[in-house]
Amino acid sequence: MNWWEELKQDPIYYSKEILKTELWEKEKEILQALKDYKEVSVKSCHASGKTFTAAIAVHWWLAKEDSIVITTAPTFRQVKEILWREIRSAVIGKGIYPEATILDTQINLRDKWFALGLSTDRPDQFQGFHSANLLVVVDEASGVTQEIYEAIDGLSPTKILLIGNPLKNEGRFADSFKNTLVHKITISAFDTPNVKEGRSVIPGLITSGDVERMKSYYGEDSDVYRVRILGEFPLADVDSLISVDDIAKAIQRQVDVKKQWEKKMGVDVARFGDDRSAIVIRQMEKVLRKEVFSSLDTMQITGNVLRIAKEEGIQAQNINIDVIYISCRSIYFCC
């Protein structure tokens, strides 16, 4: 086997020799699994390098002549600004492809030899991409609908790579971790080099500080910690009032604030124990500010509410408190 044929067979070797990229152990595990198995599912903590690894997989697959890569994610913004940003940055300036072939969400080498990013709003977009060398990459796989997965299956892909945070216990991504035909990989924050070493080994990956912040905000027993730090599916039932998936979608949603919208404040007052008081400022659907306080008495919370209301220019009638108590009367009359 000559050098180029070996590169086409070995994604780790391709990454090192062509992309000049050093991988850490879980990134190597993903690429090796993609070489060895038809379908690979990767559930991961936040900022583990999984999308970067998927970008490497795209370029390795394109090293095969007359190969096709189809990538998708729950929204076109995620396709363009997350996965395809990594795909472009991995090769720009390295002379691997002619620069004119690299577009925002496309690499066009030849007819029936290309990579393409598609959003998931229309299953019919996935029709017609048939090839003996077809790789499908699904980023943020928890958020992709069953209809899209059915359209992908209809392509009879050579390889399928699903990656993402395990946001919910239902759907194709969750089901793939119960399927004996799928090779499964889990990445915990505690697997990553930065957390293992307690220092910044690879810039951009999750750090020990990120782990501690998640722990302090949500607690080690929370589903947010399980998903974002441990890379595990949430324990909550799928019919929970507010799921981790709902939270993720809210974070991703873009809201343009209009000047005529009044600012409003919500106050959740802690009463006892380890509970914490929270103050949230919003304009319609846009959350502008959040403050959380522990171990403060009622009048100290009242002082913080008054201070923040003054800083944000919020009128008394727009302050909403969940407990009818002395704090309510104090805030109303002082504002």
Instruction: Tell me the three state secondary structure of residue 250.
Output: helix
Specify the CATH number for the domain of residue 291: 3.30.420.40
pLDDT at 4 over 90: no
Q: Tokens for 273?
A: 């124990």
**Whole-angstrom Cα distance, residue 14 to residue 218?**
40
Residues 141 and 280 in one domain: no
Contact criterion met (CB below 8 Å) for 301 and 327: yes
Average pLDDT of the residues in 32-53:
97
Residues 35 and 110 in one domain: yes
Q: Tokens for 300?
A: 């100290």
Percent share of the chain, pLDDT over 70: 90
Residues 156 and 32 in one domain: yes
Residues 7 and 105 in one domain: yes
Contact criterion met (CB below 8 Å) for 67 and 120: no
Looking at 197, 216, 234, which one is the last position of a domain?
A: 197
pLDDT at 299 over 70: yes
Beta strands in the chain (DSSP E): 39-44, 68-72, 106-110, 113-118, 134-138, 159-164, 183-187, 263-268, 277-283, 286-293, 319-321
Instruction: Tell me the three state secondary structure of residue 155.
Output: coil
Contact criterion met (CB below 8 Å) for 14 and 4: no
How confident is the model at residue 273, as a pLDDT? 58
Q: Tokens for 187?
A: 């990445």
Residues 142 and 268 in one domain: no
How confident is the model at residue 271, as a pLDDT? 65
Higher-pLDDT residue of 329 and 211 is 211
Angle at the Cα of 122 from the Cα atoms of 120 and 128, rounded to 5 degrees: 100
**Whole-angstrom Cα distance, residue 34 to residue 41?**
10
Find tokens 């949430």 and name the residue. 234
**Which of 216, 213, 215, 210 has its CA nearest to residue 226?**
215
Looking at 197, 224, 245, which one is the last position of a domain?
A: 197
Residues 184 and 313 in one domain: no
Q: pLDDT tens across 116-157, in order? A: 999 877 888 898 898 999 999 999 999 999 999 999 999 999
Residues 162 and 274 in one domain: no
Q: Tokens for 223?
A: 């589903």
| Domain-located, residue 235 | no
Instruction: Tell me the three state secondary structure of residue 18.
Output: coil
**Whole-angstrom Cα distance, residue 99 to residue 92?**
8
Average pLDDT of the residues in 212-216:
94
For residue 26, the enclosing domain spans 3-197
**Whole-angstrom Cα distance, residue 71 to residue 150?**
15
Looking at 170, 197, 224, which one is the last position of a domain?
A: 197
**Whole-angstrom Cα distance, residue 318 to residue 327?**
15
Q: pLDDT tens across 249-276, in order? A: 666 567 777 878 899 999 988 766 567 8
Number of domains within the chain: 2
**Which of 109, 69, 106 has its CA nearest to residue 84?**
106
Contact criterion met (CB below 8 Å) for 193 and 25: no
How confident is the model at residue 331, as a pLDDT? 47
Residues 299 and 172 in one domain: no
| Domain-located, residue 258 | no
